[in-house]
Structure 1
């Protein structure tokens, strides 16, 4: 693969992944793609997600065709291409060879925060639904190949978004743009068809917001899922990007 610069941000749900997509799309040189493997993931797993049938009908369910598109020309021939991915969409049968041709970044969040937000849109949640185990595996795979990705913790990021974005742009070898810090409210044509079910907060936003100070009260299955994911989170959190 050659130009464009392909940035793959590997996240879990209910992180700041959509806000991050807004930041990159607001650059003048950047195209974005919103969870291109989602239709394949739903078609293969049979999971009941909001707008499941619409997502499958609207998207590409053949992962090989998705990968072919992601490694081809960027939308509008943009020089920078930000690809927003959910790590749990990387089902076991998907070959990973193409991933090593991308500039990969991991975006993590405290699983207690993730689960508390997730169950507002989908009542049932399993540990593998939020992608932290898969993020640990992907990090290990890339690190073993000599290309350990930077890890960004969303809580840290929201306390210093400009510093993190400057550091990330520096790692990528591109200039930082102040346009990444603010965007217009509302939906975008680039949003996935599932956006009405998940993106209300981002649609109302015009920039990154400081993380809320709150006590989370999870119980039952939700608490168990968060606890099961905590060791994976701690492992990646120890590797997170640190900025001044």
Structure 2
């Protein structure tokens, strides 16, 4: 199912890959705040979970995930959109996506983009997912959470290797979320240098918005498509915040079920491999 093509001319094209709950939406807000960037919100994730050919549906939402299906979101549609040259005033095309959307076939990813990664400690990621489930009073046994996310860090690390070996992009830049929120200016400067774009202080702050105010592509599907998810805990911090905020204090950590602790333990080796390759502050 390979969909490669020659690199389009025009803007600098960048993809940022992550696991869930990794400050990636805040990173997209930072890129959007530049004023010269078109942002594409999780197009491959939308194909996988909401498109007509998607392999899974998200079942832990407060409604049946099939209600969010959008027939438009095929991989061919997304790759045609990402390959478009109809962005004459934009210097950068920036795709924020989660690696879950390509876990069955890395070759669906559009060529011609510079790949980058943002990571977050599994304890913080899985704690955040668990808290979100508890707040929505769904998946009390956490079965869906575990089934869907258990191997997500390993998939991210595998795709990193794929970018190195199959796409021949050397060592793709990796940002750790804690480093970013602790020292945003330093990390953003280094990220911009690594991806071939100019740093601007505009990336440090942005306005609080509602989901309807975001001028992002691919927000007509998934979590943005319905009021009950668009205004949910999953997006509220990134949309209401005006910067990267602060890293959560794990000395005040909530007690997690043993099954979630096992997920964290399982994910740590892959996370640590990527962490050791990160851009250092």
Shared fold (TM-score, shorter chain, > 0.5): yes
C-alpha separation in 2, matches of 1:18 and 1:107? 11
Corresponding residue number in structure 2 for 1:195: 230
Q: What's the CA shift string for 1:104-125, capped at 9, x where partnerless?
A: 1011000110011012334431
| Equivalent residue in structure 1 for 2:121, among 110, 130, 152 | 110
Structure 1: segments with no counterpart, 5+ residues: none
Are residues 34 and 49 of structure 1, via their aligned partners in 2, closer, same or farther at CA, if it must alter by over 3 Å?
A: farther
C-alpha separation in 2, matches of 1:135 and 1:151? 11
What is the TM-score with the length of structure 1 in the denominator?
0.89
| CA displacement at 1:49 relative to structure 2 | 4.3
What is the TM-score with the length of structure 2 in the denominator?
0.78
Whether 1:48 aligns to 2:85 is no
Whether 1:239 aligns to 2:274 is no
| Equivalent residue in structure 2 for 1:180, among 180, 203, 209 | 203
Corresponding residue number in structure 1 for 2:4: none
1:130-145 aligned at under 5 Å gives the runs 131-145=152-166
C-alpha separation in 2, matches of 1:154 and 1:25? 18
Structure 2: segments with no counterpart, 5+ residues: 1-7, 134-138
Structure 1 or 2, whichever has the larger Rg, is 2
1:127·1:229 contact (CA, 8 Å) conserved in 2? no
CA RMSD of aligned residues (A): 2.1
Corresponding pairs, count? 241
Whether 1:129 aligns to 2:165 is no
Whether 1:165 aligns to 2:203 is no
Whether 1:208 aligns to 2:244 is yes
Whether 1:224 aligns to 2:259 is no
C-alpha separation in 1, matches of 2:202 and 2:78? 29
| CA displacement at 1:84 relative to structure 2 | 0.4
Are residues 36 and 97 of structure 1, via their aligned partners in 2, closer, same or farther at CA, if it must alter by over 3 Å?
A: closer
Are residues 92 and 19 of structure 1, via their aligned partners in 2, closer, same or farther at CA, if it must alter by over 3 Å?
A: same
| Equivalent residue in structure 2 for 1:85, among 83, 87, 97 | 97
Whether 1:12 aligns to 2:19 is yes
